[in-house]
């Protein structure tokens, strides 16, 4: 007798980048040396004060964490929001810790989508595959919106007849995979249009502290004083080198936070309290983030130079953790580079509109980036 699987899960198949990772793993197992730009998992050491805070918080007796999280953490997040965006938020009603932004983004539609009503969830493509996966498994109707050549999401990209049916709309700035940045006015336009149609505006802001010069704007800066109809998803993964800690936050409309708290209480989804204390230390400090920005900028400059020297267009790539390069056949180029020991992601794994591009995560060290230049030049030199 066959196992019955949710047909939506079968339709989505494996996480699309998995096949590349499997091939890379095979090569590593054979002892081959790889320089891996495929996954956004930075390797710089987590600043020492963060694990020290975690160690101090490990209890003698382990007990369940609460869904709402420790007040120390919620206050630290609110303090960060005040410093970074100039917005005062209530740590008791407008802040909710999460076990990483990926999990939070995936589960959000379960709190708001009415599968019987045909609610539509909108997101830009190419983009983070989780927007669509969460929407579909929650029973929503997914509607990815193709981006233009500058990979900036704009209100004008969304068909007018879609707004009355929409329930959630995702923005992502700085953008994954392209590293484009929405202007404050573009975010404001989305905010006002979403309010007009009572669409919940969900802003994936997990890269908002990784930039070259000007700090990217956030929906938290343009929303009304109650943050009506918005949720910002913030993450310590890239900001503080804490990918393995699985620590993020949702900040926004108190009614939405209340609904998400109810959902997460049902699923038992809450960060361990010792990681919460580490997160509180990270959110309270901004100096270490500046050093991380400097390192990522150094890597970006090394790679930009080699692509520019060979005449390849680096699209956007002005912020975030990625370089987005137009190469022609993205799969063929990915395979060619992989066989030479450089791992990248083909653009099409991020959805329609990603074809023809490769994404390089600024993860290897500056020295490894320099070592990769020779392979990139050999594989990409035009004849």
* pLDDT value of position 383: 58
Model pLDDT for residues 145-185, shown as the tens digit of each residue: 999 999 999 999 999 999 999 999 999 999 999 999 999 99
CA–CA distance, 5 with 200 (Å, rounded to integer)? 30
Mean pLDDT of the chain: 95
* pLDDT value of position 24: 83
* pLDDT value of position 73: 98
Q: State the CB neighbour count (10 A cutoff) for residue 38.
A: 23
pTM for this entry: 0.95
Model pLDDT for residues 289-317, shown as the tens digit of each residue: 999 999 999 999 999 999 999 999 999 99
Alpha helix ranges (H) inside the chain: 7-12, 18-29, 49-57, 71-85, 101-112, 130-137, 184-196, 219-222, 254-267, 273-283, 287-309, 330-339, 366-380
* pLDDT value of position 22: 84
* pLDDT value of position 147: 98
Is the pLDDT at 1 greater than 60, yes or no? no
Q: Per-residue confidence at 337, pLDDT binned at 50, 70, 90?
A: very high
* pLDDT value of position 12: 66
CA–CA distance, 92 with 349 (Å, rounded to integer)? 39
* pLDDT value of position 9: 73
* pLDDT value of position 178: 98
């Amino acid at each position: 007798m066959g196992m019955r699987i949710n047909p939506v899960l079968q339709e989505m198949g494996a996480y699309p980048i998995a096949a590349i990772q499997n091939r890379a793993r095979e090569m590593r197992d054979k002892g081959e040396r790889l320089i891996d730009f495929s996954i956004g998992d930075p390797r710089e050491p987590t600043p020492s004060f963060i694990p020290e805070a975690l160690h101090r918080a490990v209890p003698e007796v382990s007990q369940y964490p609460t869904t709402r999280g420790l007040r120390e953490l919620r206050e630290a997040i609110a303090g960060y929001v005040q410093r970074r965006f100039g917005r005062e938020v209530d740590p008791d009603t407008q802040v909710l810790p999460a076990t990483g932004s990926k999990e939070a983004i995936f589960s959000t539609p379960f709190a708001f989508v009415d599968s019987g009503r045909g609610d539509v969830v909108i997101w830009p493509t190419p983009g983070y595959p989780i927007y669509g996966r969460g929407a579909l498994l929650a029973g929503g109707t997914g509607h990815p919106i193709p981006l233009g050549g500058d990979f900036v999401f704009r209100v004008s990209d969304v068909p007018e007849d879609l707004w009355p049916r929409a329930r959630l709309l995702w923005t992502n700035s700085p953008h994954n995979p392209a590293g484009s940045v929405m202007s404050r006015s573009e975010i404001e336009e989305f905010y006002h249009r979403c309010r007009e149609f009572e669409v919940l505006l969900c802003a994936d802001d997990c890269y908002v502290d990784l930039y070259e010069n000007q700090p990217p704007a956030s929906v938290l800066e343009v929303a009304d004083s109650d943050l009506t109809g918005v949720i910002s998803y913030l993450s310590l993964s890239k900001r503080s080198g804490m990918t393995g800690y699985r620590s993020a936050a949702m900040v926004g409309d108190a009614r939405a936070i209340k609904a998400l708290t109810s959902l997460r209480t049902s699923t038992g989804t809450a960060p361990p309290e010792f990681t919460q204390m580490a997160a509180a230390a990270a959110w309270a400090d901004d100096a270490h983030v500046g050093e991380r920005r400097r390192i990522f900028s150094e890597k970006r400059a090394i790679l930009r130079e080699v692509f520019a020297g060979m005449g390849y267009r680096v699209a956007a790539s002005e912020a975030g953790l990625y370089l987005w390069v137009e190469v022609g056949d993205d799969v063929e180029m990915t395979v060619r580079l992989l066989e030479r020991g450089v791992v990248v992601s083909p653009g099409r794994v991020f959805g329609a509109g990603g074809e023809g591009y490769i994404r390089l995560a600024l993860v290897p060290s500056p020295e490894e980036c320099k070592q990769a230049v020779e392979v990139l030049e050999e594989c990409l030199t035009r004849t």
